[in-house]
Structure 1
Amino acid sequence: MTKKKIAVILAGCGVYDGAEIHESVLTMLAIQQAGAEYELFAPDIEQHHVVNHISGEEMNEKRNVLIEAARIARGNIKPLSELKVENADALMIPGGFGVAKNLCSFAVDGPDCKVNPEAELVVKSFHKAGKPIGALCISPALITKVLGAAEVTIGSDEGTAAAINKMGGTHVNTTHGEVIIDKKNKIATTPCYMLDATITQIAEGAGNIVKTVLKMI
């Protein structure tokens, strides 16, 4: 039997300016433990900015999203432009501020954000093909900006929930490990580090959303 393949988009490396590392690695682990396989992608673009992960302060340097994401991927990653919907059964996007800074400008512009054209095309392609999309942490905001009327969760943060509703989505409050399923749009979302969470709770959320997405294929 052919293994199901999930395309995973990474937004760099590190919670404050890239992909959230725990969410990314635990998603990859959950996919493999569920008997499926993953392929990693990231846009070949300059990061919005670079953040010192000890102090939280912006650093005066430039980094590339694809090159940084390759740290998580151990080098086995492709440019997002090479992701073709026919080559995967589902799409998964871990969180981290890179989603809201590099894949779109939600961190700066809120509901009026712009979306990276490659990321927008990929989300629309999977949606149009009826293939499931899983989004962790802040990623549901990106999905909502692209697709509009989607039922999603980012946990219980009032400001982010209000922004999602303003973009045409429907936000549902959740706690650790919960997955909201939008059956019509084949979207699964879970809050992860949008809540104050432990790495064990992140593993639970990643495992649950991966199982949900695989069932929707």
Structure 2
Amino acid sequence: MAAVRALVGSRFAAASAFASLSPGGRTPSQRAAIHLSAPQPAAKVALVLSGCGVYDGTEIHEASAILVHLSRGGAEVQIFAPDVPQMHVIDHTKGQPSESESRNVLTESARIARGTITDLAKLNAANHDAAIFPGGFGAAKNLLCCIAPVLAAKVLRGVEVTVGHEQEEGGKWPYAGTAEAIKALGAKHFVKEVAEAHVDQKNKVVTTPAFMCHTALHHIHDGIGAMEEREIAAPQPPRLTSGE
């Protein structure tokens, strides 16, 4: 599941409503409107990864979907990961630990970042408008204590988040028990569908279920898009969190 948290103020630029008009066909009022709607500075977003692979690092599809939506929105993205050993390495063909292997979270995250990545210790909140945490078990194993929205529940008392539904419903929501863990931490859980997002206006946090739901990949992509759209539209731009 994914989560976003706004750190300062969102600066996503809006497209001009007059972009398709030819220069000769604009009236003075239209030209004035174009001038007033000049592009604003792009949002500066920190993307925090926790390795590479759903069972021991970042969920790669979630990270990719987030990067696509941020690119489409014109954001300036800087990618971070902690320079620490992974809790363990999982053989993803078997779903079991590979006892003889050890890997570094920063080095593994660099695979997703295409090599352009910074040590998480150097992240300065004042330099970014929002921080995004994709899901994956690495968020639990390598960053803090649980999946991305639970990070918010752990550090923000009473925060509102969603991990989707609260019942497994025949395997559609295999990690539904996470909702109870969120409540046990004193946070509030809101039931949402996979393509929806929840906004906590007070704490500036936006969450979406993502791979907490067993569904088609494009539904996960839509939910992450909804999360980022809600982040942009919120009166006080929120912080984002993502995924399982």
TM-score bracket for this pair, using the shorter chain length: 0.7 to 0.9
Amino acid of the structure 2 residue aligned with 1:166: A
Cα shift at 1:7: 0.6
Tell me the CA shift for residue 105 of structure 1: 2.9
1:160 and 2:169 are equivalent in the alignment? no
1:203 aligns with 2:189: no
**For residue 182 of structure 1, what is the amino acid of its counterpart?**
D
Give CA deviations for 1:103-149 in whole Å, capped at 9, x if unaligned: 1133xxxxxxxxxxxxxxxxxxxxxxxxxxxxxxx310111111121
Number of residue-to-residue matches in the alignment? 186
Q: Does 2:2 correspond to 1:2?
A: no
Residue 158 of structure 1: how far off its partner (Å): 3.9
Aligned-partner SS, 1:70: helix
Runs of at least 5 residues in structure 2 that lack an aligned partner in the other structure:
1-39, 166-174, 238-244
For the residue of structure 2 that corresponds to 1:39, the secondary structure is strand
Task: Answer yes or no: is the 8 Å Cα contact 2:145–2:151 preserved in 1.
Answer: no
Equivalent residue in structure 1 for 2:94, among 42, 55, 76: 55
Q: Is the 8 A contact 2:153 2:159 kept in 1?
A: yes
1:74 Cα deviation (Å)?
0.3
Larger Rg: 2
Among 166, 183, 186, the alignment partner of 2:204 is 186
C-alpha distance in 1, partners of 2:230/2:192?
A: 16
Q: Distance in 2 between matches of 1:159 and 1:205?
A: 20
Cα deviation digits, residues 165-205 of structure 1 (max 9, x gap) = 01010011111111011111111000000111222112101
Q: Secondary structure at the match of 1:54?
A: coil
Name 1:67's counterpart in structure 2: 107
CA distance in 1: counterparts of 2:68 and 2:78, whole angstroms: 12
Structure 1 CA distance for aligned equivalents of residues 233 and 80 of structure 2: 23
In the alignment, structure 1 residue 146 sits paired with structure 2 residue 155: yes
Aligned equivalent of 1:115: none
One-letter code of the match for 1:9?
Answer: V
Please say if residues 163 and 176 of structure 2, whose CA atoms lie closer than 8 Å, have aligned partners that are also in contact: no
The one of 83, 92, 95 equivalent to 2:123 is 83
TM-score normalised according to structure 1 size: 0.83
User: Which ranges in structure 1 are unaligned for 5 or more consecutive residues?
Assistant: 107-137
Give yes or no for contact 1:34–1:211 (8 Å, CA) kept in 2.
no
Q: What SS does structure 2 have at the residue aligned with 1:153?
A: strand
Specify the alignment match of 1:112 in structure 2: none
Say whether the 8 Å CA contact 2:200–2:206 is kept in structure 1. yes
Give the match's secondary structure for 1:92. Answer: strand
Letter in 1 for 2:115: G
Partner of 1:177: 195
AA partner of residue 144 (structure 1) = A
Per the alignment, residue 117 of structure 1 pairs with: none
1:20 CA drift (Å): 0.2
Deviation, structure 1 residue 214? 2.4
